[in-house]
């Protein structure tokens, strides 16, 4: 590196050490981020994520210097274009992506930016008083008029489509309408970990949905292993319990007497015996069976009856006779 300024050599050495010692490396887009907001973002990331702003050519040189020791790391130089920064951290790529996304905030357009998505102005009242503002809105492509002493937007309209440039006139009107179409923040383009590259599209996932899918997959695998009787550390207790229940049911249905089945078999035999006894003439039963069936030794049913059932009902003739006697 003869003839190269000392500061560049020192910068490449600094970048090289970062690349060598960081498990996860990333490239972020910092285009359009004001210096004040950049300082605030760095403050939020300090202690967990190191953000290094340097020339792309110097980052490329550092990547070349560590390429032999870290497989595929040099490939992230393909993502070095425009205003970028180097990210180094111990966080895994997915956690790093979440950290970067948390830095993003909405900002007003200044004119000249490319719309990140369709920008729409909704129909309805505006906070403006009648005046030249109507002409300014119309000039910006926003359908406005005066109705009932108010400035209103006549209909909902997409004023800029995704990928189109936002004009300065429109940017001014959007700001006055308090519409902030621009997202400002650290945009993670790619990350590197253990020889693998993860682009933004891969990292941008719904973590709660992903966790639920893992839970459902684990549950399905567990059920499959139990039904297939494939023993693992996770299912061994369930398999032993299932085997015990199957053995108990087999012994019970096969009338095999064990310490566990004897009580249930005796209880079942008792119920069967009482069922048969209930169909026999009470005179053929002993006092103990009669008592268990609710019949007293004299052959009367000992089950409780209501007062109405105990007293014999009077027929109509008896009631007539009683009235004549009175």
As for how many domains the chain has, the answer is 3
- The reply to whether 316 falls in a domain is no
- Please check whether residue 293 lies inside any domain of the structure: no
Q: Which residues contact 95 (CB under 8 A, 6 or more apart)?
A: none
Contact 261, 248 (CB under 8 A): yes
Note the pLDDT of residue 172: 92
Query: CA–CA distance from 244 to each of 19, 90, 151, 260 (Å)?
Result: 58, 48, 79, 11
Residue 288 lies in a domain: no
160 in the same domain as 20:
no
Residues 192 and 217 in one domain: no
Query: 100 and 129: one domain?
Result: no
Mean pLDDT by 10 residues, the chain (326 residues): 80 93 93 82 87 92 89 92 92 92 85 89 91 91 90 92 92 91 88 93 83 91 90 91 89 86 86 86 82 69 49 49 47
Q: Which of 46, 24, 118, 29 is nearest to 82 (CA)?
A: 29
- CATH code of the domain containing 135: 3.90.105.20
Specify the pLDDT at position 306: 47
| Domain match, 15 and 95 both | yes
Q: Are 189 and 92 in the same domain?
A: yes
Task: Quote the pLDDT of residue 284.
Answer: 79
Q: What is this structure's pTM?
A: 0.55
Q: Are residues 252 and 225 in the same domain?
A: yes
- Residue 79's SS3 state is helix
- For residue 231, what are the CA distances in angstroms to 226, 238, 244, 245, 247? 7, 9, 15, 17, 18
Considering the domain architecture, whether residues 171 and 195 belong to the same structural domain is answered as no
Q: What is the pLDDT of residue 326?
A: 43
Residue 28, strand partner residues: 85, 188
Per the structure, the complete domain to which residue 158 belongs is given by: 119-177
Q: Please, what is the angle between helix 236-253 and helix 207-227, to 10°?
A: 40
Question: Can you tell me the distance from the alpha carbon of 192 to that of 198, in angstroms, rounded to the nearest whole number?
Answer: 6
Per-residue CA distances from 218 to 142, 222, 228, 238, 240 (Å) = 53, 6, 15, 15, 20
Q: Are residues 138 and 95 in the same domain?
A: no
């Amino acid at each position: 590196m003869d003839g190269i300024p000392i500061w560049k050599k020192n910068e490449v050495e600094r970048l090289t050490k970062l690349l060598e010692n960081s498990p996860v490396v990333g490239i972020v887009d910092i285009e359009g981020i004001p210096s004040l907001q950049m300082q605030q973002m760095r403050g939020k990331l300090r202690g967990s994520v190191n953000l290094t702003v340097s020339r792309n050519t110097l980052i490329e040189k550092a990547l070349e210097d560590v390429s032999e020791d870290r497989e595929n790391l040099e490939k992230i130089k393909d993502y070095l274009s425009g205003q970028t920064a180097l990210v180094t951290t111990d966080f895994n790529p997915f956690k790093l992506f979440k950290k970067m996304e948390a830095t993003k905030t909405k900002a007003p357009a200044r004119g000249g930016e490319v719309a990140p998505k369709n920008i729409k102005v909704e129909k309805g009242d505006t906070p403006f008083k009648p005046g030249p503002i109507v002409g300014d809105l119309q000039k910006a492509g926003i359908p406005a008029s005066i109705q009932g002493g108010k400035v209103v937007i006549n209909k909902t309209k997409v004023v800029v489509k995704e990928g189109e440039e936002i004009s300065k006139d429109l940017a001014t009107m959007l700001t006055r309408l308090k519409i902030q179409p621009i997202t400002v923040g650290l945009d993670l383009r790619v990350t590197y970990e253990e020889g693998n590259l993860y682009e933004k599209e891969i990292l941008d996932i719904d973590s709660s949905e992903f966790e639920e899918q893992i839970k459902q997959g684990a549950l399905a695998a567990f059920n499959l292993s139990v039904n297939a009787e494939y023993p693992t550390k996770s299912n061994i207790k369930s398999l032993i319990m299932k085997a015990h229940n199957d053995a108990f049911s087999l012994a019970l249905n096969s009338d095999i007497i064990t310490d566990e089945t004897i009580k249930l078999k005796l209880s079942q035999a008792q119920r069967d015996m009482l069922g048969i006894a209930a169909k026999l003439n009470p005179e053929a039963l002993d006092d103990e069976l009669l008592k268990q069936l609710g019949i007293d030794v004299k052959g009367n049913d000992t089950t409780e009856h209501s007062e109405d059932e105990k007293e014999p009902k009077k027929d109509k003739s008896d009631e007539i006779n009683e009235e004549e006697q009175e």
